[in-house]
Amino acid sequence: MKKGKKVEAIARNINLKKNIMKNYLKNLIAVTAVVIFAVGALFAQTEEANQVKEQTKNQVATAAKEQNKNQVATAVQEQSKNQNRHRVNEQQQAMVQEMRQNAKILRDEFKETLTEEQLAILENTELSMKERMEALKETLTEEQLELLDCSLEGIKEQRREMRGEMAQQQRNEHRNQVKTSTGEGGNRKGKGNGNVF
């Protein structure tokens, strides 16, 4: 009998261990399923968040490109308007040309009255323009001074008329055109800016 009770006890013990193992396995499978579900949900949320993040990034980049494109287009239009508005028109260009021709004629007339010594003073590039003018003025006769004053006054009058015709921005544009066409300071070989006579 003792043997039968031992076998029965061992069988019960085995059944008990089997039941414990079944319950443990069921719990392990349930926990594993929960973990897999949680990881899957987390992965899905992360993937969705990455997609939203990428979509937002693309939208911001597209918006920035569009804004930049619009700003560039607007700036080009404004620049074009300003250039057209401030350009010297043909009538004003003709006035400038006439003014230059008249100034040249007056300069040439004045230079014809100068002696060889006075011309030598004007052509002396070792002196600055201011020094040449001061030295020349000391040698001028009354007639030459009157002619010089008359010439300068005529040039000034033409400039005043021209300024009345041109807006400030147009004058600036014209000066820039003259600078770029003759180079910085012009091509006058040390003879000043040409506005003296």
Question: 110 near 144, Cβ under 8 Å?
Answer: yes
- Compute mean pLDDT per 10 residues along the chain, 197 residues long, and list them: 75 83 82 78 76 78 77 72 61 80 85 89 90 89 86 82 72 76 54 48
The closest alpha carbon to 103, from 113, 115, 95, belongs to 95
Same domain, 107 and 27: no
Structural domain ending residue among the three candidates 86, 101, 128: 86
- The pLDDT score that the predictor gives to residue 128 is 92
Residue 29 covered by a domain: yes
Same domain for 52 and 131, yes or no, is no
Give pLDDT, residue 126.
92
Give the number of domains in the chain. Answer: 2
Cα 103–Cα 107–Cα 108 angle in degrees, nearest 5: 120
Residue 189: predicted pLDDT: 47
**Using H for helix, E for strand and C for coil, what is the string for 47-79?**
HHHHHHHHHHHHHHHHHHHHHHHHHHHHHHHHH
- The range of the structural domain enclosing residue 44 comes to 1-86
In a domain, 47, yes or no: yes
Cα separation, 133 vs 166, whole angstroms:
30
6 shares its domain with 54: yes
> Using CA atoms, how far apart are residues 26 and 13, in angstroms rounded to an integer?
20
Position 131 scores a pLDDT of 92
pLDDT at 84: 53
* Per-residue DSSP letter, 184: T
Identify the pLDDT of residue 197.
Answer: 46
146 lies in the same domain as 129: yes
